[in-house]
Amino acid sequence: MGAERIDTRLLEELTEQSQDLNSDAVRITADALEDFTEVSREDRESRERRAQASSRRWWRRSGTVAGVAGAAALLTQMRAVAATTSDDVKALQTAASIENLAISVYQTAAGLPFIKNGNKTVAAFIAKTTTQHQAHATAFNAAATQAGGKAQSGPDPKYAAVVKQALPSIKTPADVVKLAITLEDVAAQTYTQNVAQVSSTELRKLFASVAPVEAQHRATLLAVQALLAGNMAQLITIPTDAAKLPAAAGSVGFPDGFYPTKSASPITEGAVK
């Protein structure tokens, strides 16, 4: 009996499904940001109307104890509104800082000779992933400004230090992949945790749409890492020769049944100071 032939149609279907997942995530992210923008606008207009009404009442009663109390109540109300959105803004700024760092690392990696002149699939993955991280950073910053905060243009300080320490030792594609896995994993874990931390449905939807994309990046990189470690770089191609892939190729990218959050960044980590 000859060697069993592996049907590559399944692999092609999985590749197509992966592309569909990202397309769906992009659409959901855009929808969530649009919804959040609309809700923020309506909330801002509502607050302005309440503030104007309170102001008119205060002026009618100015010079009285009631007037002073009314002004104090208005100030308290404004502070309360700000407090309900501060954590949301910090979470969004921290997310943007993680994306900014990932963009910087991927852009640096793309210029390395062994990436630029090396495996074409790895180079294409880096280019495509950079574009996706740029879109995520834009979405997070847009939401942060809509919530009344500032856009975050800097990198996550904790992982920027990790990257700075790692860059001098990067000599091979495997080194790049290892560092990228770290960044994609912290992004996925952070956004997964943020879903339960932010205060609105729209923001939960935003984080929930981006988290699986980062998890998908990590899964792809884990598979690439395994092939590089097994001296099978020639199999890092699309479409690949499924018959030559090791048995673990189908599972190495998914080591967790449920995505962990123990390494998630706290919302204050990359917030604008």
List pLDDT tens digits, range 140-149: 999 999 888 9
pLDDT < 70 stretches in the chain:
1-84
- What does the pLDDT look like over 35-92, one tens digit per residue? 666 655 555 555 455 545 544 543 454 444 444 444 444 444 444 344 347 899 999 9
Residue 46, classed as helix, strand or coil, is: helix
Tell me, yes or no, whether 201 lies in a domain: yes
Range of the domain at 136: 9-35+86-250
3-state helix, strand, coil in the chain (%, to 5): 75, 0, 25
What is the model's pLDDT at position 23? 62
Q: Which helix or strand (DSSP H or E) is residue 211 part of?
A: helix 201-229
Q: Tokens 């309440």, residue? A: 50
Tell me, yes or no, whether 73 lies in a domain: no
Question: Could you give the CA distance from residue 249 to residue 243 in angstroms, rounded to a whole number?
Answer: 11
What is the model's pLDDT at position 41? 55
pTM for the full predicted model: 0.74
- Output b/e per residue, 234-247; b: 16+ Cβ within 10 A: ebbeeebebeebee
Tell me, yes or no, whether 240 lies in a domain: yes
Tell me, yes or no, whether 176 lies in a domain: yes
Average pLDDT of every residue of the chain:
79
What is the model's pLDDT at position 252? 80
Name the domain count of the chain: 1
DSSP class of residue 266 equals P
**CATH number for the domain that contains residue 204:** 1.20.1260.10
